[in-house]
Amino acid sequence: MQKGAENIEFTEITPQADIAADRHGARAKCLQRLVRMDLPLPRTVALSFDAVRRIAQGTLPDVAALMSVFGAAPLVSVRPSSENQDWGGPASILNIGMNDSRHAALCSTHGETAANALYLRFIQAYAVHVARLDPDMFEPEAPSRDALRAALDAYAEETDDPFPQDPGRQLLEVLRSMARAWEGTTARLLRQAKGAPAEAGLGMLVQAMVLGVGPGESGSGVIQFVDSVTGQRRIVGRYLSQSQGRDAISAREGALFLTRDPRGAALEDRCPDLVARLRRYGDTCRLNLREEMRIDFTIEAGRLWVLDALRVPRSARGAVRMAVMLADEGIIPREEALCRIEPRAVSELLHSQVDPTGPRHVIAHGIAASPGAATGRLVFGSAAAQASAARGEPCILVRRETTPEDIRGMHAAAGVMTERGGMTSHAAVIARGLGVPCVVGISDMRLNRRDGVLITAGGHKLHEGDIVTLDGTSGQVLLGPVKMLEPALDDAFQALMGWAEEACDIGVRANADTPADAQMARRFGADGIGLCRTEHMFFEADRLTVMHEMIFADRAQDRASVLARLLPMQRADFKRLFEIMQGLPVCIRLFDPPLHEFLPQSREGVRDLAEALGMPVSDVQRRVQALSEFNPMLGMRGVRLGITIPEIYDMQARAIFEATIEASRQGDPVVPEIMIPLVSAMREVELVKTRIDSLAAAVRTERGVDFDYRLGVMVETPRAALRAGDIVQHAAFLSFGTNDLTQMTYGLSRDDAGRFMGSYVKQGVFAEDPFHILDAEGVGELLRIGAERGREARPGVTLSICGEHGGNAESIAFCRAAGFDYVSCSPFRVPVARLAAAQLALGEQVHADRGGADEQPLALRS
């Protein structure tokens, strides 16, 4: 039925009515489906996005015509209906049409308590949402005649007008205020943050009220058939009976039934038919809407009505189980189950999380650098972290910023927080690799190590030993312990990941430096190791001393003898990696950081080192000074070190080749990939390649065993990207290191960006932190140029990205479009990347199947 009133059209929801989610909203479409399934819905009328937009702009709907759909003196509700339930909308308003005379009539038909409750609820909602009065003045109260009088008086006093009595005017004002609320800036920003387009529309539904009062069983409630947190099948809900009080609805030992309220018989005992029908409706909704739904119902004088059905709200783990169960039961295809899960939500399953339903006392904020949450005692140094771990006490390590010296402390800590730093600073990269929650760039706290106190902007003074909870998912620091949700790597998660692997058409490797990382990479289904940062292997206590000796060796022969001691250690490392990754590629990056990173900065550390090496403190100090640089990240590191002190790369290449021979003895032949970091010129590659080739030849001859290997280049300087055509002549693969490439393209220190990044993003200088989300325009342009020039000069060259961006959906989309072979990210991000890649592949498949006619992702087509 279409009626026109000042050109504002409305459509009654019937099985045949022309209702569409992209014109009337998802709720309107859902209600039409419920009607088609023969669920007992009260009469409902839908207003389209266009109608609501025009109401917001001032066009008046013909409310008399609208009201007349519902018969004489109706009571109605108005509910919002946006295209996607998750985008939210203004609050629903019930009992429109209540006024003094209706109240008097209801007092005689339904009793005063029921009449007071209905009228009071409407006045409160109208005052707060329509007249925009202070909510504190209209706090929900027990529905007495006095409370009603007080609410009416408060309304009149605040607005200088009595509470409107004309139902038409009430409806008009409700429609107008809801339409305007949707157009407001705050509402727009909120929904845009949830992924809604700027111009997203709002539909509205006007529905006849079913009061849930009257003789016989009367009341209202909600019921759902799965648990929102776990996703397991069980009945959950609540029901408020007019005569019996509140029934809790739950399941016991898997059986579906409604629990008995201590104050009376359970609804199931009182009205078994109604409860059986609710269950049936639940099944019908699930099968037909192909989704777990929460049903909003009312019972009026023994008659059951369904008012609404909404997607069950769900945690990340709940969402995974629900999708997998629906697919397992053949209700939705697996592809659709995959597309229903937000890739970011998967990372929540891999780590402990702060329970979102519990209270939080936030004392500081920073950049959420590594997801998950941990509670522990504060420690302000790595030695204290190790001591705490030795006592079996979880601790949160606080540093101004971390350096390689802190690695052991980070290993020992349950969480890491730093005052400085950004998404690719040392603490962030290492913590993500370890899977440890981490918050960096917490500029609203000051660590005063001398006085042993951490001071927050809010004036909290925390000392070592105080307990905090670090939430690396939200970037918050919370006071004290909080309720946690444990990781959920259950069967549903494993099933989903298996399906993602099948659908995925780009490789996903892991950045893994140690055997523990490699094991994690395998566990999460990585296609290999895309980046092994070998320097991390030198930070083990026994190796650091040898490394120091190497740095302090003045003559080449002294250096050679120290490196000979490091050789078996590295060989064992690589052999272990090859064994764990059996059959999968392992890409080992040669030594990258500046040597001074291995030297102590503090006077104490220098003294300890002098003692360990048996040298005068002054000699150690001189060496530290000699190695220090103004811009170490742009100084003597990467291939520059490899060319100036070639013995280090020689030792590493030999260790790789010898480990290759040993690991190949037990299993498939290993073909190691060796990667040269920080290249900017072809000649660098030529020099290193010549030495590595001759070392390979030497090892082959010494051992009498043949083996293959692949030599590649890490493209992480802008010049390497621009000159990829020359460089690739000596490289079987190019792997883009987007951390350094972003740093150098922007001229922005990855370790210091945290200080101002928040303010830059807030002011719109950068749309996002470029160390977090790949800058597709600038850095991306270099990636495209590098890939094109590399591929042109060497067709078939393997292309990949191994910076921290590798795990993000946006970068994966970029890499797929640019024809890259794989992305590589920290092991804990492999499942996230895998799911994102699978969704992109499935989305493209759907697009191709439809001849490119439909841009809508699979998830929205249900």
Annotated catalytic residues are 426, 802
The tokens describing 351, both together, are 């780590």
The residue (of 333 and 404) whose beta carbon lies closer to ligand PEP is: 404
Span interacting with Mg ion, options 54-62, 297-305, 740-748, 843-851, rule CB under 5 A: 740-748
Torsion of CA 382, 388, 389, 395, to 10 degrees: -80
594 binds Mg ion (CB under 5 A): no
Number of H helices, E strands in the chain: 33, 33
The residue (of 244 and 742) whose beta carbon lies closer to ligand PEP is: 742
475 binds Mg ion (CB under 5 A): no
Give the sign of the dihedral formed by CA 554, CA 555, CA 556, CA 560: negative
Sort strands 798-801 and 822-825 into parallel, antiparallel or unpaired: parallel
CB of 616 to ligand PEP, least distance (A): 34
The residue (of 236 and 783) whose beta carbon lies closer to ligand PEP is: 783
Q: Which does 802 bind (CB under 5 to 8 A by kind): ligand PEP, Mg ion, none?
A: ligand PEP
CA distances from 695 to 324, 576, 651, 725 (A): 52, 21, 9, 26
Alpha-carbon gap, residue 771 to 681, rounded angstroms: 25
CB of 807 to ligand PEP, least distance (A): 12
The residue (of 332 and 678) whose beta carbon lies closer to Mg ion is: 678
Q: Which does 34 bind (CB under 5 to 8 A by kind): ligand PEP, Mg ion, none?
A: none
Assess contact for 858 and 339: CB atoms under 8 A: yes
Q: Which does 533 bind (CB under 5 to 8 A by kind): ligand PEP, Mg ion, none?
A: ligand PEP
The residue (of 155 and 539) whose beta carbon lies closer to Mg ion is: 539
Span interacting with Mg ion, options 285-293, 312-320, 365-373, 737-745, rule CB under 5 A: 737-745
Q: Is 639 exposed, middle or buried (0-12, 13-18, 19+ CB in 10 A)?
A: buried
CB of 740 to Mg ion, least distance (A): 4
Alpha-carbon gap, residue 680 to 714, rounded angstroms: 10
Alpha-carbon gap, residue 224 to 228, rounded angstroms: 9
Nearest to 729 by CA among 785, 640, 791, 676: 791
The residue (of 336 and 740) whose beta carbon lies closer to ligand PEP is: 740
CB of 668 to Mg ion, least distance (A): 30
CB of 739 to ligand PEP, least distance (A): 3
Compute the residue count for the chain.
862
The three-state secondary structure class of 284 is: helix
The residue (of 247 and 740) whose beta carbon lies closer to Mg ion is: 740
The residue (of 447 and 678) whose beta carbon lies closer to ligand PEP is: 678
Which of residues 737, 790, 827, 843 is near Mg ion by CB under 5 A? 737
Q: Which does 803 bind (CB under 5 to 8 A by kind): Mg ion, ligand PEP, none?
A: ligand PEP
End-to-end CA separation in angstroms for the chain? 26
Span interacting with Mg ion, options 136-144, 151-159, 576-584, 730-738, rule CB under 5 A: 730-738
Nearest to 421 by CA among 757, 804, 751, 746: 751
CB of 129 to Mg ion, least distance (A): 53
Assess contact for 430 and 410: CB atoms under 8 A: yes
Alpha-carbon gap, residue 295 to 310, rounded angstroms: 7
Span interacting with Mg ion, options 342-350, 642-650, 739-747, 846-854, rule CB under 5 A: 739-747
Nearest to 195 by CA among 121, 96, 87, 349: 87
Which residue type sits at 763?
A: Q
Q: Is 398 left (phi over 0), alpha (psi -120 to 50) or beta?
A: beta
Q: What are phi and psi of 450, to 5 degrees?
A: -65, -45
Span interacting with Mg ion, options 583-591, 697-705, 736-744, 849-857, rule CB under 5 A: 736-744
The residue (of 92 and 739) whose beta carbon lies closer to ligand PEP is: 739
CB of 414 to ligand PEP, least distance (A): 24
Q: Looking only at residues 698 through 717 of this chain, which bind Mg ion when binding is defined by CB under 5 A?
A: 716
CB of 750 to Mg ion, least distance (A): 9
CB of 544 to ligand PEP, least distance (A): 19
Encode burial over 787-808: b for 16+ CB neighbours within 10 A, e otherwise: bebbbeebeebbbbbbbbbbbb
The residue (of 82 and 424) whose beta carbon lies closer to Mg ion is: 424
| Positions that interact with ligand PEP (CB under 6 A) | 429, 531, 533, 592, 716, 737-740, 802-803
The residue (of 600 and 737) whose beta carbon lies closer to Mg ion is: 737
Assess contact for 530 and 802: CB atoms under 8 A: yes
The number of residues that bind Mg ion (CB under 5 A) is: 3
Residue nearest to Mg ion (CB): 740
SS3 content of the chain, % helix, strand, coil (to 5): 50, 20, 35
Q: Which does 738 bind (CB under 5 to 8 A by kind): ligand PEP, Mg ion, none?
A: ligand PEP
The tokens describing 60, both together, are 């008046």
Q: Looking only at residues 333 through 352 of this chain, which bind Mg ion when binding is defined by CB under 5 A?
A: none
Assess contact for 384 and 364: CB atoms under 8 A: no
Q: Which does 429 bind (CB under 5 to 8 A by kind): Mg ion, ligand PEP, none?
A: ligand PEP
Encode burial over 672-702: b for 16+ CB neighbours within 10 A, e otherwise: bbbbbbbbbebebbebbbebbeebbeebeee
Which of residues 247, 348, 650, 740 is near Mg ion by CB under 5 A? 740
CA distances from 7 to 47, 55, 78, 81, 169 (A): 12, 10, 20, 20, 18
173 binds Mg ion (CB under 5 A): no
CB of 612 to ligand PEP, least distance (A): 27
Locate the DSSP E strands across 677-835.
Answer: 710-715, 733-736, 798-801, 822-825
Q: Which does 843 bind (CB under 5 to 8 A by kind): ligand PEP, Mg ion, none?
A: none
Sort strands 255-258 and 673-676 into parallel, antiparallel or unpaired: unpaired
CB of 716 to Mg ion, least distance (A): 5
CB of 806 to ligand PEP, least distance (A): 8
The residue (of 471 and 716) whose beta carbon lies closer to ligand PEP is: 716
Q: Which does 606 bind (CB under 5 to 8 A by kind): ligand PEP, Mg ion, none?
A: none
List contacts with Mg ion (CB under 5 A).
716, 737, 740
